[in-house]
Amino acid sequence: MGLEVVQTPKTVEAKIATLVMEPDLRTQIINAQRQDDIMEKFRAKVRSGEEKSFKVEAYNALTFEGRICVPNNDELRNKILSEAHDTPYTAHPGSTKMYQDMKKKFWRNCMKRSVTMFVERCLACQQVKVLHQQPYGKLQPLEIPEWKWDHI
């Protein structure tokens, strides 16, 4: 932000505000890729020409078919999942919708399973979940048997 000066007839007041910058999610993923050994091996294969489906794009980001590769970092993976699930723009989508949205931008092994498990642990999603079951209807009385053990 900056410095704001407010002048009144007798005094001059100064308000100082600070601005803390955090790297965006893409930058965090790229930094985590550099610390992951598996991602570095893929990056070396891309440079040598052995791997064709992976590419190293702008800012040294490793991508798979145009989607950014998410490294094996639990904190970062949970941040990506919560960002895709809890923001006001998405408002608790189901696991299928969330996976379809995420697979357009991100790639990693077992992503569908982790998305499903994340949504299953969300209390709000479980409370709103619709039951897809026919109503039971009225109870039907059982026939009265004529003799003992006639119907079991």
The percentage of the chain sitting over the pLDDT mark of 70, rounded to a whole number, equals 82
Please report whether residue 45 resides in a domain: yes
Question: What pLDDT was estimated at residue 14?
Answer: 63
Beta strands in the chain (DSSP E): 3-7, 12-16, 54-56, 62-64, 67-69, 106-107
How many structural domains compose the chain?
1
Question: What pLDDT was estimated at residue 127?
Answer: 80
- The CATH number that applies at residue 56 is 1.10.340.70
Q: Return the higher-pLDDT residue of 22 and 126.
A: 126
Please report whether residue 31 resides in a domain: yes
> In Å, how far are 51, 68, 152 from 64, measured between CA atoms?
10, 6, 62
Look at the pTM and tell me if it is higher than 0.75. Answer: no
Please report whether residue 152 resides in a domain: no
- Under 8 Å between Cβ of 80 and 73: no
What six digits make up the tokens of 89?
């723009």
Q: In terms of residue numbers, what domain contains 90?
A: 19-128
Interval 87-120: pLDDT, tens: 777 778 888 999 999 999 999 989 999 999 999 9
